[in-house]
Amino acid sequence: MTKGKAFIFAAPSGSGKTTIVKHLLEKRPDLGFSISASTRDKRGRTEENGKDYYFLSRDEFQEKIKQDAFVEWEEVYTGNYYGTLKEEIQRIWDDGRHVVFDVEVKGAMNLKKYFGDDALAVFVKVPSIAELEKRLTARGTESRESLSQRLYRAEFEMGFEDKFDVTLVNEALQDSFDNADKLVDDFLNK
């Protein structure tokens, strides 16, 4: 089995981790994005199956759990499952690339446990909960109830920051890009 390094980016929803991960993937051909599986609905018309997520029904997801097809999985919001498929990681390593994850906090902890010293776990955070609320509201994708759920969950997830290898504060986006680039380079060169 081919094996590479793993870069795990996690953050409360709206912190900018996906934007940072997309930057790394555009800049670095030696990185490959691990597409997560999810039972949640697609957001708008822009998300595509097999590109943004592997969108599965709850029955399909539960069948894959029974088949031990996931490295990790979790029910994140009531009724919405997310997970990392083993075959997805192997696909990236077989291409000779290192795998990059854009996951929620508990999934990140499970991935770090699975990969150990072969993974760098990066916690991305915004300067404050008020800034996070502002960013989530600006998305225009959240109902009042889902915004409240995400902010409540964000407070909980912030408590995991010290369990990560490093924290990346996403205040000025270009600085965050530069810091992420340096983190990847440093980890690959150690």
For 100-157, the pLDDT digits (tens) are 999 888 889 999 999 999 999 999 998 767 776 676 677 666 677 776 776 777 777 8
- One-letter identity of residue 175: D
- In 3D space, the residue among 182, 98, 170 whose CA is nearest the CA of residue 134 turns out to be 170
Please give the DSSP secondary-structure letter assigned to residue 53: B
pLDDT at position 34: 95
Q: Give the confidence band of 2 by pLDDT, cuts at 50, 70, 90.
A: low
What's the chain's average pLDDT? 88
- One-letter identity of residue 39: T
pTM, full prediction: 0.83
Give the rounded percent of residues in the chain with a pLDDT score beyond 90.
57
Measuring CA to CA, how many Å separate 31 from each of 2, 96, 163, 181? 15, 9, 24, 12
Pseudo-torsion of CA 157, 18, 95, 99, nearest 10°?
A: -20
Residues 171-186 have a mean pLDDT of 95
The pLDDT of residue 44 is above 90? no
The pLDDT of residue 1 is above 50? no
pLDDT at position 56: 95
Six-digit token string for 184: 């990847």
Helix axes 129-139, 144-158, angle to 10 degrees: 140
pLDDT at position 145: 78
Q: Cα(144)–Cα(137) distance, rounded to whole angstroms?
A: 9
List alpha helices for 48-165, DSSP H. Answer: 58-66, 86-94, 105-115, 129-139, 144-158
